[in-house]
């Protein structure tokens, strides 16, 4: 049985109206996308109407921003205007500091449909969790920029081997909060069944042979990707951030044979 | 039939929104400044968002100065506490600057465009937090809104053209529709909560919201129509 055009139009109007005033569930949003594909594209007319009505109802009740927020926004605006913040919304990725079992990857690769099903479940779970809980890496990075006075930003530079030509971005690190993010643009995506990226943080207070593991991560597209840094131990004085390419699950000690990106903080003085 | 001239495209198909007939704007009340055209070299008048879109640093600060209070006021109504509102305001401005290239002054006023982005972000944040907005109702505001038949008086002189038209459109709705739209748009109540608060069936609430928005859209687009639920 097919849905009549009239019913489809009614449903489309219902979804557009709901989105304008109370938002949609992921399922409803997918349904709206599907219905809009049959039309000429996105339709924001209800959203604009609701916004105009909101302005009318708000009337003169406009409160001035707190002075502290105004200053923070001004700083954010300067970062934006100087190009330090990407003009594109970030994708979401998360590094794991816990290496996965490589055998699992192998097993999954040899059982095709199981892998596909598992991936689907994981993707759904990830998407569902993303929609339900916690900030995205982009939001966390934004908060860190606002909250960490000692934030250090270092641009990626090509490494000595398998350099990712065209890859740009930065490492953002707060020593006091022991939090940071890697931001990538135009980074070559990896096949997690074959290899994964791994971050290493060199600390002047530690033996250079044993940098701190900053987590294993994947790049799924060449668009902007933000990856949270997950260090298992405290980093006292970061002197170098290095991305290596390792086998799936990462390694405990890297042979540093594949080192596509580096970011070195400038020495003071 | 869906009225497509109201379409304002964002996200996937940015070219679709260039349907200037949605709002035949008699006057555009926005600050303008002459900026050089990158291609022809002529000096053109541009609003704040248009100058943000071409990367003019000063315009970013102007955007904050001009619309900061508006975004903050919207955020305060949607967010449970000032800290959440501050985070939301920063996210909204980033969205606004990113979306500036999609702004078309022939389709909507800057304030309307920014309010739309703000509302979307605020509604999204509320949904992610797992709860509907907890509006910061003014003292007696809820009672007044349930009892009043008309929207609160608005300082129309302070509003942009879209908001002035929206005020007229709201005034043209049936009292019950006005009340439902006010609770939905201004107070951020869910359909279910509106049904509880007003005693109206849920289906009626949904119908009022939908028809009210259609009527708003008609008036904002300058269409003439005999939509249901219109008093005049």
DSSP chain A: ----HHHHHHHHHHHHHHHHHH---HHHHHHHHHHHHTTTS---HHHHHHHHHHHHHHTT-PPPPPHHHHHHHHHHHHHHHTT-S-SSPPEEEE-BSS---HHHHHHHHHSHHHHHHHHHHHHHHHHHHHHHSS--HHHHHHHHHHH-TT-EEEE-EE-SSS--TT-EEEEEEETTTTEEEEEEESPPP--TTT-EEEEEEEETTS-TTSPEEEEEE----SS-EEEE---SS--SSEEEEEEEEESTT--SS---S---EEE-PPPP-
Residue found under tokens 């909204």: B92
Closest CA to B109 of A19, A55, A57: A55
- Per CB-CB distance under 8 Å, the chain A contacts of B220 are 48-49, 52
Closest CA to A249 of A187, A172, A200, A193: A193
Q: Which residues contact B211 (CB under 8 A, 6 or more apart)?
A: B177, B227, B228, B229
Question: Nearest CB to B210: which of A14, A41, A76?
Answer: A14
What are the CB-based long-range contacts (under 8 Å, 24+) for B167-172? B167/A56, B168/B219, B169/A53, B169/B215, B169/B216, B169/B218, B169/B219, B169/B220, B170/A53, B170/A56, B170/A57, B170/B216, B172/B215, B172/B219, B172/B230, B172/B231, B172/B232
Please judge whether A52 and B8 are an interchain contact, meaning their C-beta atoms are less than 8 angstroms apart. Answer: no
Q: What 3-state class would DSSP assign to B10?
A: coil
**pLDDT at residue number B28:** 34
Nearest CA in chain B to A48: B116
Please judge whether B7 and A131 are an interchain contact, meaning their C-beta atoms are less than 8 angstroms apart. Answer: no
Please judge whether A139 and B9 are an interchain contact, meaning their C-beta atoms are less than 8 angstroms apart. Answer: no
Kindly state whether B104 is in contact with chain A, defined as any CB-CB distance less than 8 angstroms.
Answer: no
Question: Nearest CB to B182: which of A25, A39, A57?
Answer: A57
What percent of chain A has a predicted confidence (pLDDT) above 90? 27
Kindly state whether B29 is in contact with chain A, defined as any CB-CB distance less than 8 angstroms.
Answer: no
pLDDT tens for each residue of B201-220:
999 999 999 999 998 888 88
**pLDDT at residue number A116:** 47
The answer on pLDDT for B3 being more than 80 is no
Q: How confident is the model at residue A108 (pLDDT cuts 50, 70, 90)?
A: very low
Kindly state whether B185 is in contact with chain A, defined as any CB-CB distance less than 8 angstroms.
Answer: yes
For A194, counting Cβ atoms within 10 Å of its Cβ (0-12 exposed, 13-18 middle, 19+ buried), the class is exposed
What percent of chain B has a predicted confidence (pLDDT) above 70? 62
User: Chain A to chain B, count of Cβ pairs less than 8 Å apart?
Assistant: 229
Which of B60, B183, B227 is the mutation pick for testing A, counting most A CBs within 10 A? B60
The answer on pLDDT for A1 being more than 90 is no
- Per CB-CB distance under 8 Å, the chain B contacts of A63 are 69, 72-73, 76
How far is B184 from B206, CA to CA, in rounded Å? 10
In which order are the strands placed within the sheet that holds A179-185?
A91-94, A225-228, A179-185, A168-174, A152-155
Please judge whether B87 and A62 are an interchain contact, meaning their C-beta atoms are less than 8 angstroms apart. Answer: no
Please judge whether A57 and B155 are an interchain contact, meaning their C-beta atoms are less than 8 angstroms apart. Answer: no
- Per CB-CB distance under 8 Å, the chain A contacts of B155 are 59-60
Question: Nearest CB to A53: which of B6, B74, B185?
Answer: B185
Which of B2, B66, B125 is the mutation pick for testing A, counting most A CBs within 10 A? B2
**pLDDT at residue number A35:** 84
**DSSP class of residue B184?**
I
Please judge whether A54 and B115 are an interchain contact, meaning their C-beta atoms are less than 8 angstroms apart. Answer: yes
Please judge whether A43 and B76 are an interchain contact, meaning their C-beta atoms are less than 8 angstroms apart. Answer: no
The answer on pLDDT for A243 being more than 90 is yes
Please judge whether B90 and A72 are an interchain contact, meaning their C-beta atoms are less than 8 angstroms apart. Answer: yes
What percent of chain A has a predicted confidence (pLDDT) above 70? 76
Please judge whether B9 and A43 are an interchain contact, meaning their C-beta atoms are less than 8 angstroms apart. Answer: yes
Residues in chain A: 269
Closest CA to B145 of B180, B196, B170: B180
Nearest CA in chain B to A60: B155
Q: How confident is the model at residue A249 (pLDDT cuts 50, 70, 90)?
A: confident
Of the two residues A101 and A206, the one the predictor is more confident about is A206
**pLDDT at residue number A89:** 55
Please judge whether B16 and A40 are an interchain contact, meaning their C-beta atoms are less than 8 angstroms apart. Answer: yes
- Per CB-CB distance under 8 Å, the chain B contacts of A66 are 72, 82, 86
Please judge whether B127 and A48 are an interchain contact, meaning their C-beta atoms are less than 8 angstroms apart. Answer: no
**pLDDT at residue number A48:** 93
How far is A157 from A210, CA to CA, in rounded Å? 21
Cβ atoms of B25 and B107 closer than 8 Å: no
Kindly state whether B63 is in contact with chain A, defined as any CB-CB distance less than 8 angstroms.
Answer: yes
Does this model's pTM top 0.90? My answer is: no
- Alpha-carbon distance A26 to nearest alpha carbon in chain B (angstroms): 10
Which of B22, B141, B155, B166 is the mutation pick for testing A, counting most A CBs within 10 A? B166
Kindly state whether B60 is in contact with chain A, defined as any CB-CB distance less than 8 angstroms.
Answer: yes
The answer on pLDDT for A123 being more than 60 is no
pLDDT tens for each residue of B11-65:
222 222 222 223 233 333 334 444 444 444 444 457 899 898 888 889 999 999 9
The answer on pLDDT for A41 being more than 70 is no
Kindly state whether B16 is in contact with chain A, defined as any CB-CB distance less than 8 angstroms.
Answer: yes
Displacement of CA B99 from its chain's centroid (Å): 15
């Amino acid at each position: 049985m097919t849905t009549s055009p009239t019913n489809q139009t009614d449903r489309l109007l219902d979804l557009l109206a709901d989105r304008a005033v109370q938002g949609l569930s992921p399922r409803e949003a997918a349904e709206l996308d599907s219905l809009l594909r049959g039309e000429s594209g996105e339709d924001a007319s209800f959203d604009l109407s609701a916004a105009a009505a909101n302005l009318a109802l708000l009337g003169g009740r406009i409160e001035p921003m707190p002075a502290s927020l105004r200053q923070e926004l001004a700083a954010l605006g300067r970062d934006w205007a100087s190009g330090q913040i990407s003009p594109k919304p970030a994708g979401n990725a998360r590094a794991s500091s816990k290496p996965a079992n490589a055998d699992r990857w192998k097993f999954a690769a040899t059982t095709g449909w199981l892998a596909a099903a598992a991936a689907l479940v994981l993707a759904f779970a990830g998407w569902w969790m993303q929609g339900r809980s916690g900030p995205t890496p982009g939001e966390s990075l934004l908060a860190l920029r606002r909250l960490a006075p000692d934030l250090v930003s270092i641009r990626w530079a090509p490494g000595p081997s398998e350099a990712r030509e065209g890859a740009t971005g930065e490492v953002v690190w707060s020593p006091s909060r022991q939090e940071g993010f890697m931001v990538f643009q135009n980074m070559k995506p990896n096949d997690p069944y074959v290899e994964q990226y791994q971050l290493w943080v060199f600390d002047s207070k530690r033996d250079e042979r044993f940098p701190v593991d900053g987590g294993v991560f994947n790049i799924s597209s060449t668009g902007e990707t933000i990856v949270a840094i997950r260090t298992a131990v405290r980093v006292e004085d970061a002197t170098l951030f290095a991305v290596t390419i390792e086998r799936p699950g990462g390694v405990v000690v890297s042979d540093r044979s594949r080192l596509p990106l580096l970011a070195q903080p400038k020495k003071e003085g | 039939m869906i009225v497509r001239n109201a379409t304002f495209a964002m996200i996937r198909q940015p070219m679709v929104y260039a349907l200037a007939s949605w709002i035949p704007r008699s006057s555009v009340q926005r600050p303008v400044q002459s900026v050089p055209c990158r291609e022809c070299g002529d000096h053109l008048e541009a609003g704040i968002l248009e100058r943000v879109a071409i990367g003019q640093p000063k315009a970013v600060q102007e955007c904050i100065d001009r619309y900061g209070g508006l975004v903050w006021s919207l955020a305060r109504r949607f967010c449970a506490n000032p800290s959440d509102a501050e985070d939301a305001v920063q996210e909204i401005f980033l969205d606004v600057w990113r979306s500036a290239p999609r702004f078309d002054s022939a389709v909507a006023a800057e304030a309307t465009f920014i309010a739309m982005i703000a509302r979307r972000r605020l509604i999204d944040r509320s949904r992610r937090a797992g709860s509907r907005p907890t509006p910061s109702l003014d003292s007696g505001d809820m009672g007044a809104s349930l009892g009043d038949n008309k929207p609160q008086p608005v300082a129309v002189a302070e509003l942009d053209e879209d908001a002035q038209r929206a005020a007229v459109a709201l005034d043209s709705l049936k009292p019950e529709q006005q009340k439902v739209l006010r609770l939905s748009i201004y107070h951020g109540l869910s359909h279910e909560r509106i049904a509880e608060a007003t005693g109206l069936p849920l289906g009626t609430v949904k119908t009022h919201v939908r028809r009210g928005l259609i009527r708003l859209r008609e008036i904002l687009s300058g269409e003439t129509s005999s939509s249901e639920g219109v008093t005049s």
